[in-house]
């Protein structure tokens, strides 16, 4: 555009003068901008607040400056000496075990945390009644060690201060309830309530035995003269690259929580961006409707000598001022919503989250809103540029102006590119953001093609006898029809809603119905070799119809693959967990259940050659392993190298016993090990399962029993919490789509008014016109709903089967609700927008023709 011919000061004066009449015609515009900006600002503000709270209290959350953790194997020798030399060290052991009442009337799984006298190095343990931790966990004169129990366990077992609680072979004295431990957030999610005991009490319980599943943690408070914790971490990892420990520092005290918050924030931000882009269609419709209502003023400007570029500048400034109002409103909501939500998050996460305004989060949201407004307002402005001065004397529609000039198309493309670049640049997972944006762009293109296809079908449809239906079909394909606007406005939001609803529904279905039907009732862990026969006899007595599966289990850590140290092996992110820390391993003469050979052959039952291993096929391929490769594992302090003889396809979702690595029996001949068992009881019910649980706990107090259904219920609660956020995001997207649809229909109301007047002049009655509009909206709503169902189902199928590796089912309720909802929304908004037009006086329109 020729900027030298535009007097921006004068253009601003005219823009402000025209806005004296208020914001009539811009309400949809304002709502679309404000909703998208508020969603992005609120999500990013909450994410920044949580991460700031974690960083601010990093030492307390970690209870140390640096923490070393290793599964199932304590530090010894040079490794332990190295950590001790770093500063003041506190040790703890965490494991799951059964707690029970002395009379055997009830029991419960608990997360046992055994600490020494130096714990915690930072922060404090809060108990009720309040007392020093040393006194709470000390041994009393009657030989009972003290224990602090989580309120949930206290309520579940009816415990009070002074009561006795049995743990393994030890009798514990309940000192009170554990109200808060400083580092609980850094230790991740627990499937059972916590109890806190001393390390001496853990020794008396006899829980730590060969093969016990335990996590050993070593917290260190660094001296003031020590280097930065990051440098200490790097030095430790370089000094012991094969230690198999994980090292955390205080500025990343809760990495799992931070990563999950960031991922959820990024997901919701992208949904907010999709909402904003969907709102962009509403912006374009609102701008078109507003400029169409102002065409007499535009013609007047041109009659007075204003060049076309000056007219464009006047209305561009108006639109940007309105956009800034919408952005400001969105930022206010985006800043206030976190202040309301943060107290709840603080109580859930048990950390003080600062209630503050985060300028960067607000700035990013404002940029998203501004770029969206510019990108979607430019092309309608091109139509305003082409309004002739003769429009002052006779009405003309904007659709007569043809395609917009290339400078406007280029400007819109630049704004869209800047919007995409901002989304990708601000995302942690830039590839995901890129794919998401490409999908949104593809959805717009497909929706445009769908609209064209609907018009094509309507144009070639047989002419029905009913005049109202014939008029409705004609309205779908005629020039200037609302088909494109309706399909584009409602299609994207409905597609997103269907995809999220199907993902949510399939997750709940998998957890609540499919898995419990296939899963065992119990897992039993840490069965010692001397207890196997007695355990088998007890289960035969308590559950004679039950199916018991017992397998040997050792703990081993992969040290090398094909003579390359595991610490140096280039593994993709999704497979690194296999090389991190200890893994459960087993041996078997037969192929395990719920596994099938993908490649290779199983060894003979009496095999006695070199050590062989069968590797899980998916994990093996992710690591780049193939038949004939070698795997070196460290078991009981001895390194063993085995050749991969086969790759197995493992049904992990069945929850049966399965391992990444299954070795030939001769590999561990004579090695001591524990056993792992599952029990599937076809006659089991809640009461019977409780009897089995009680019998096992009383007879084998050191065996840990996990009731699968209870664990799945906890997992279901987690999925439910995530689903709440997903539903909220879907609701925002749908609200945006409804607003956009309302704007699209409002933009066509003037033309609808002309049509209604002409039809009434020719003898059409109001009921006939209403039926025609209802038929039109029914057809458009049904076609858009069907498209959203197909596209959303495809997106949900991909997310579930290719990313989450779960089965997919098209849920009929979601399908029916989608199509019916689309029809109802389209008809309701369409009739609401056009109802008042049917009562207009013909003279108001006829004099303008």
Give residue-wise pLDDT tens across range 73-93: 888 889 999 999 999 999 999
Peptide bond preceding 550: is omega within 30 degrees of 0, i.e. cis? no
Q: Per-residue confidence at 725, pLDDT binned at 50, 70, 90? A: low
Residue 460, exposed/middle/buried by CB under 10 A (0-12, 13-18, 19+)?
exposed
Q: Are residues 44 and 125 in the same domain?
A: no
Domain edge (last residue) among 198, 232, 252: 252
List all residues 6 or more positions away from 19 whose beta carbon is below 8 Å from its beta carbon: 318, 321, 322
CB 212 within 8 A of CB 703: no
**Helices in 510-643 by DSSP H: which ranges?**
515-518, 532-542, 576-579, 617-623
3 state DSSP class of 525: strand
Total Cβ atoms within 10 A of residue 773: 25
Find the mean pLDDT for residues 701-716: 72
Same domain, 278 and 169: no
Residues 242, 79 contacting (CB under 8 angstroms): no
- Same domain for 279 and 408, yes or no, is yes
Distance of alpha carbon 36 from alpha carbon 281, whole angstroms: 13
Place of tokens 């962009």: 280
Can you tell me the distance from the alpha carbon of 383 to that of 386, in angstroms, rounded to the nearest whole number?
5
829 pLDDT band (50/70/90 cuts)?
confident
Same domain as 243, residue 265:
no
> Do 818 and 837 fall into the same domain?
yes
Among 186-200, 349-363, 484-498, 522-536, top mean pLDDT goes to: 522-536
Widest Cα–Cα separation across the chain: 104
Place of tokens 């890129």: 434
| Mean pLDDT within 370-390 | 78
Statement: residue 539 has pLDDT above 60: yes
Q: Is residue 361 part of a domain?
A: yes
pLDDT digits (tens, 9 = 90+) for 573-632: 777 778 877 788 888 888 887 788 889 999 998 888 899 999 999 889 989 899 999 999
Instruction: Tell me how far apart the alpha carbons of residues 765 and 296 are, in angstroms, rounded to a whole number.
Output: 31
Reply yes or no on whether the pLDDT at 760 is more than 60.
yes
Kindly indicate the confidence band of residue 672, based on its pLDDT and cuts at 50, 70 and 90: confident
Closest CA to 108 of 192, 204, 205, 175: 192
Asked if pLDDT for residue 400 goes beyond 50, the answer is no
Q: Looking at the structure, do residues 117 and 84 belong to the same domain, yes or no?
A: yes
Alpha helices in 510-613 (DSSP H): 515-518, 532-542, 576-579
Asked if residue 544 has pLDDT above 90, the reply is no
Q: Does pLDDT of 147 surpass 80?
A: yes
Position with higher pLDDT, 19 vs 89: 89
The answer on 294 and 420 residing in a single domain is: yes
* Least confident span in 117-121, 296-300, 619-623, 633-637: 296-300
Q: Please, which pLDDT band fits residue 195 given cuts at 50, 70 and 90?
A: very high
643 has a pLDDT exceeding 50: yes
Strand 564-565 relative to strand 547-561, pairing: antiparallel
Does the CA dihedral 144-149-155-156 come out positive or negative? Answer: negative
In a domain, 10, yes or no: yes
Residue 4: per-residue pLDDT:
44
Q: What is the pLDDT of residues 29-81, one digit of tens each?
A: 787 788 878 878 887 787 777 777 776 677 877 888 899 988 878 888 899 99
**Residue 714 scores a pLDDT above 70:** no
Percent of the chain with pLDDT over 70: 79
Q: What is the pLDDT at residue 30?
A: 82
Write down the mean pLDDT value for the chain.
Answer: 79
pLDDT of residue 793 exceeding 70:
yes
Is 279 found in the same domain as 178?
no
Q: Which of 663, 680, 697 finishes a domain? A: 680
Is residue 231 domain-shared with residue 98, that is, in the same domain?
yes
pLDDT digits (tens, 9 = 90+) for 213-248: 788 999 999 998 877 888 888 899 888 887 878 888
Q: Which of 328-337, 445-454, 496-505, 757-766 has the lowest mean pLDDT?
A: 757-766
Q: Is residue 779 part of a domain?
A: yes
Alpha helices in 426-482 (DSSP H): 430-460, 467-477
Query: What pLDDT score does 396 carry?
Result: 47
Question: Does residue 316 sit within a domain?
Answer: yes
Residue 527 lies in a domain: no
Same domain, 243 and 279: no
Whether 795 maps to a domain, the answer reads: yes
Neighbours of 225 (CB within 10 A): 6
In total, how many domains does the chain have? 4
Residue 512 lies in a domain: yes
Domain span holding position 795: 429-520+708-849
Q: For the beta carbon of residue 421, count every other beta carbon within 10 angstroms.
A: 12
Q: Are residues 1 and 117 in the same domain?
A: no
Same structural domain for residues 365 and 462? Answer: no
- Domain limit, last residue, from 217, 252, 287: 252
536 inside domain: no
Confidence at residue 138, expressed as pLDDT on a 0 to 100 scale: 92
């Amino acid at each position: 555009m020729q900027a030298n011919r535009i007097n921006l000061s004068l253009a601003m004066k005219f823009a402000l003068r025209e806005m004296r009449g208020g914001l009539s015609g811009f309400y949809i515009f304002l709502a679309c901008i404000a909703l998208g900006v508020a969603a992005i600002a609120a999500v990013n503000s909450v994410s920044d607040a949580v991460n700031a709270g974690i960083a601010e209290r990093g030492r307390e959350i970690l209870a140390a400056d640096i923490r070393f953790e290793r599964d199932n194997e304590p530090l010894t020798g040079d490794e332990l000496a190295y950590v001790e030399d770093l500063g003041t060290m506190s040790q703890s052991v965490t494991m799951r075990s059964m707690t029970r009442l002395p009379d055997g009337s009830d029991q419960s799984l608990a997360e046992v945390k055994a600490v020494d006298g130096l714990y915690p190095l930072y922060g404090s343990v809060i108990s009720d009644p309040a007392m020093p931790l040393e006194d709470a966990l000390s041994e009393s004169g009657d030989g009972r060690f003290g224990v602090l129990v989580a309120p949930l366990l206290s309520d579940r077992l009816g415990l009070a201060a002074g009561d006795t609680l049995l743990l393994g072979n030890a009798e514990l004295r309940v000192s009170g309830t554990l109200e808060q431990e400083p580092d609980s957030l850094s230790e991740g999610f627990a499937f059972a309530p916590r109890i806190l005991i001393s390390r001496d009490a853990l020794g008396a319980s006899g829980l730590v035995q060969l093969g016990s599943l335990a996590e050993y943690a070593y917290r260190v408070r660094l001296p003031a003269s020590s280097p930065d914790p990051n440098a200490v971490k790097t030095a430790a990892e370089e000094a012991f690259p094969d230690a198999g420990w994980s090292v955390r520092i205080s500025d990343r005290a809760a990495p799992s929580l931070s990563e999950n918050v960031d991922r959820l924030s990024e997901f919701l931000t992208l949904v907010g961006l999709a909402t904003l882009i969907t709102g962009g269609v509403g912006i374009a419709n609102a701008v078109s409707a507003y400029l169409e209502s102002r065409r007499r003023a535009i013609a007047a400007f041109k009659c007075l000598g204003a060049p076309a570029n000056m007219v464009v500048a006047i209305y561009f400034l108006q639109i940007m001022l309105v956009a800034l109002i919408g952005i400001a409103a969105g930022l206010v909501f985006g800043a206030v919503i976190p202040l309301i939500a943060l107290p709840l998050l603080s109580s859930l996460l048990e950390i003080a989250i600062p209630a503050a305004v985060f300028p960067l989060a607000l700035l990013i949201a404002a940029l998203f809103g501004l770029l969206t407004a510019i990108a979607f307002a430019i092309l309608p402005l091109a139509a305003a540029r082409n309004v002739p001065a003769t429009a002052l004397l006779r009405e003309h529609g904007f659709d007569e102006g043809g395609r917009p000039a290339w400078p406007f198309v280029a400007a819109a493309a630049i704004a869209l590119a800047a919007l995409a670049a901002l989304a990708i640049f601000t995302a942690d997972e830039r590839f995901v953001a890129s794919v998401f944006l490409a999908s949104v762009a593809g959805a717009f293109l497909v929706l445009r093609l769908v609209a064209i296809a609907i018009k094509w079908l309507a144009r070639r449809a047989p002419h029905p006898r009913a005049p109202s239906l014939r008029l409705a079909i004609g309205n779908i394909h005629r020039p200037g029809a609302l088909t494109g606007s309706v399909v584009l406005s409602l299609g994207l939001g409905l597609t997103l809603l269907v995809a999220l609803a199907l993902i949510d529904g399939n997750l709940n279905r998998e957890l609540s119905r499919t898995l419990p039907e296939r899963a065992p009732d119990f897992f039993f862990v840490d069965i010692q070799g001397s207890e196997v026969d007695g355990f088998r006899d007890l289960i035969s007595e308590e559950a004679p119809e039950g199916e018991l599966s017992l397998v040997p289990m050792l703990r081993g850590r992969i040290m090398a693959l094909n003579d390359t140290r595991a610490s140096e092996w280039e593994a993709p992110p999704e497979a690194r967990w296999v090389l991190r820390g200890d893994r459960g391993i087993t041996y078997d003469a037969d192929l395990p259940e719920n596994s099938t050979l993908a490649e290779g052959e199983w060894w003979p039952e009496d095999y006695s050659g070199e050590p062989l291993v069968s590797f899980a096929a998916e994990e093996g391929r992710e690591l780049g392993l193939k038949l004939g490769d070698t795997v070196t594992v460290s078991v009981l302090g001895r390194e063993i190298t085995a050749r991969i003889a086969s790759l197995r396809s493992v049904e992990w979702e069945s929850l049966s016993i399965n391992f990444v690595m299954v070795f030939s029996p001769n590999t561990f001949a004579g090695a001591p090990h524990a056993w792992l068992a599952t029990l599937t009881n076809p006659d089991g019910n809640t009461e019977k399962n409780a009897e089995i649980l009680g019998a096992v706990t009383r007879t084998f107090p050191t065996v840990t029993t996990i009731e699968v259904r209870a664990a799945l219920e906890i997992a279901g609660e987690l999925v439910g919490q995530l689903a709440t956020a997903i539903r909220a995001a879907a609701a925002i997207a749908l609200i945006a789509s409804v607003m956009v649809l309302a704007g699209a229909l409002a933009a066509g109301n003037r033309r609808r008014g002309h049509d209604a007047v002409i039809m009434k002049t020719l003898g059409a009655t109001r009921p006939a016109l209403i039926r025609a509009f209802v038929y039109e909206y029914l057809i458009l709503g049904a076609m858009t709903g069907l498209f959203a169902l197909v596209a959303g189902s495809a997106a949900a199928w991909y997310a579930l089967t290719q990313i989450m590796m779960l089965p997919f089912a098209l849920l009929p309720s979601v399908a029916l609700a989608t199509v019916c909802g689309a029809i109802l929304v389209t008809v309701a908004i369409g009739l609401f927008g056009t109802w008042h037009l049917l009562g207009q006086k013909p003279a108001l329109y006829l004099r303008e023709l």
